[in-house]
Amino acid sequence: MSARDQILSTTLELMATRGIAATSLQDIADACECSKANVVYHFSHKEELIGEALAPSLAATEALLLAAEQSGLGSEQARVAFAHDLVDLLLTHRLATHTVITHPYFVDSVPALGAAQKLMGRMADLVTQYSTGEDDRLRFGIVISGVTYTLVSANLLGVQSVPEAELKTALTEVVTSMVMHAPTHVGAPS
């Protein structure tokens, strides 16, 4: 792995586990066992580094959205395929997605987070376009944030020992049932 790629990987790990504000360029350099000057050589400032670290996730999310927007989610088959693709995206880009979801207050200062927030809004719009209303939008937000928290905190929750294939199947079932097959109305407990 190149020094640049190591810096990007370490940045995602630290931002997802410690937070953006608690992660300095020096922290990234220390974790990479390189100098801060080496980090700054590759990335002139923290916002650029964050943008580069999030870029693959943003591109994958954009591709997922474009495909789903073109095909629509009107059929059961399309919704299930979308759920599978979404879980693949969340598994592949768990650190980036978790960072995006847990740092909405940085959207004005970090352009990549602003772009990510717009993509998440588009995804919520797409899902709720084929649903029963705002309850489903709320449910979608809970599912996405819950899945990413679970993936990033896997060791704390005991999920780390679950083989990737089983985890993917379980997450796909959760995403499909909570978002794509949401009940039209849930009454108050009696």
Does 63 reside within a domain?
yes
pLDDT at 17 over 70: yes
Q: How far apart are the first and last CA of the chain?
A: 58
Does 115 reside within a domain?
yes
Does 112 reside within a domain?
yes
Give me 38's structure tokens.
């080496």
| Domain carrying residue 171 | 46-180
Does 5 reside within a domain?
no
Distances, alpha carbon 90 to alpha carbons 74, 106, 137, 148, in Å: 22, 21, 18, 7
Does 60 reside within a domain?
yes
pLDDT interval class at 155 (50, 70, 90): low
Report how many domains make up the chain.
Answer: 1
Give me 176's structure tokens.
């499909």
Please report where in the chains the tokens 């079932």 appear, as a residue.
173
Does 9 reside within a domain?
no
Does 19 reside within a domain?
no
Predicted confidence (pLDDT) per residue in 92-102, tens digit: 999 999 999 88
Does 31 reside within a domain?
no
Q: Say what the alpha-carbon torsion angle 12, 18, 24, 27 is, to the nearest 10 degrees.
A: -80
pLDDT at 50 over 80: yes
Residues found in the chain: 190
